[in-house]
Structure 1
Amino acid sequence: MDMQRAKEILKSPEKVEVRYRGVPVWIEMIDESAEKARVHSEANPDDIKIVPVWDLDDR
């Protein structure tokens, strides 16, 4: 996923399905300078990861 798309999803009032390595996640924040996103698993909100934005998929 590119940075612009990640920012659109973060600001969207609609729920957009996003996956990180096949696992559904929720984007909490984006660090544009590092090109990273903080995400948590939809199944376990305590499972927080910092991942490269380009590793996220919304298809």
Structure 2
Amino acid sequence: MDVKRAKAIYDSKDTIAVTLEGDPVWIEHVDEANGMATVQVGSNPGNTQTVRVDRLEE
């Protein structure tokens, strides 16, 4: 995924399925300047990771 698509998903009112290495994630923040995204893994709000957006798949 590229940064523009990650930002579009984050800004969307729709629920769009995104995965990180096969695990479902929610995008919580997109750092467009650095190509990074903070994601919540699964349904646990405490389980967040900051990853390169190119590791995310739609």
For the criterion TM > 0.5, the same-fold answer is yes
Equivalents in 1 of 2:13, 2:43: separation in Å? 20
Q: Indicate the residue corresponding to 2:25 in structure 1.
A: 25
Give the equivalent residue in structure 1 for 2:11. Answer: 11
Partner secondary structure for residue 14 of structure 1: coil
Match of 2:38 in 1: 38
Deviations 1:3-45 (A, max 9, x none): 1110110010010000011110000001111110000113212
Q: Structure 1 runs of 4+ off > 4 angstroms?
A: none
- TM-score normalised by length of structure 2: 0.93
Unaligned runs of 5+ in 2: none
Q: How many residues were matched structurally?
A: 58
Partners of 1:48 and 1:24 in 2: CA distance: 12
Q: Over aligned residue pairs, what C-alpha RMSD do you find?
A: 0.8
The code of the aligned residue for 1:25 comes to V
**Structure 1 unaligned blocks of 5 or more:** none
How big is the shift at 1:57? 0.3
